[in-house]
Amino acid sequence: MQATATFTDTYVAVNQFYGRQVQLLDSGRFEEYAQTFTPDGEFQHTPGVPPAHGHDGIVAELRRFDTRFEDDPVQRRHVFTMLNVVPREGGDLDVTFYALVLTTRPGEKQPFVGPSCFVHDVLAVEDGQVRNRSRRVGHDHLFETH
Ligand code: SDN
């Protein structure tokens, strides 16, 4: 992205970033997913689970979470929608959006849907590169306020 990026440029860049990022996550490429965060990036995917910090911490947390599917092969897809991109003074972006997790099991045409999530990201845009400084995922069924 250029220094003179319009809001439309920014919105498109954020969408493209999320498309790449979520496909890394859903294909189990956790190292590459972690690299989409800044080196000191913070990631909390579930309220009550301590946030992971840094690339190694994020990979470790995703591997830990993934062990629940060791004997239960699934294809998970995180579907992001309703992006609300709010630029901050200084160039970071506050982004809030909805995320639905679809879980499909072999031979089952109908996916399981859930959790339904409300996500708050802080994105850094540096040298045209978008990265997460932080990601906090709220789960609707826990009925917490955002
Ligand atoms: O990266 C995300 C996630 C995410 O990683 C999640 C994980 O498990 C690993 C971006 C946006 C939303 C999410 C949501 C989740 C849900 C969470 C817990 C679960 O699936 O039970």
In a 3-state reduction of DSSP, which class is residue 60? helix
**For residues 89 and 71, is the Cβ–Cβ distance under 8 A?**
no
137 C-alpha vs ligand 1 centroid, how far in Å?
Answer: 7
Give the angle subtended at the CA of 9 by the CAs of 92 and 17, to the nearest 5°: 65
22 in Cβ contact with 36 (< 8 Å): no
Q: Tell whether ligand 1 has an atom less than 6 A from the beta carbon of residue 101.
A: yes
Question: Ligand 1 center to residue 46 CA distance, Å?
Answer: 7
* pLDDT value, residue 5: 84
Q: Is 130 in the pocket of ligand 1 (CB under 6 A)?
A: no
Ligand 1 centre from 107 Cα, in Å? 23
pLDDT at 4: 72
Please tell me if the CB atom of residue 87 comes closer than 6 angstroms to any atom of ligand 1. no
The Å distance, Cα 43 to ligand 1 centre, comes to 10
- Peptide linkage before 115 cis (omega within 30 of 0): yes
Nearest CA to ligand 1 atom 9: 45
pTM of this structure: 0.96
Question: 86: helix, coil or strand?
Answer: strand
pLDDT tens digits, the chain, 146 residues: what are they?
555 789 999 999 999 999 999 999 999 999 999 999 999 999 999 999 999 999 999 999 999 999 999 999 999 999 999 999 999 999 999 999 999 999 999 999 999 999 999 999 999 999 999 999 999 999 999 998 66
Distance of CA 102 to the CA centre of its chain: 14
In what order do the strands lie in the sheet containing 37-44?
52-53, 37-44, 129-139, 112-126, 93-104, 75-87
| Alpha-carbon gap, residue 117 to 115, rounded angstroms | 6
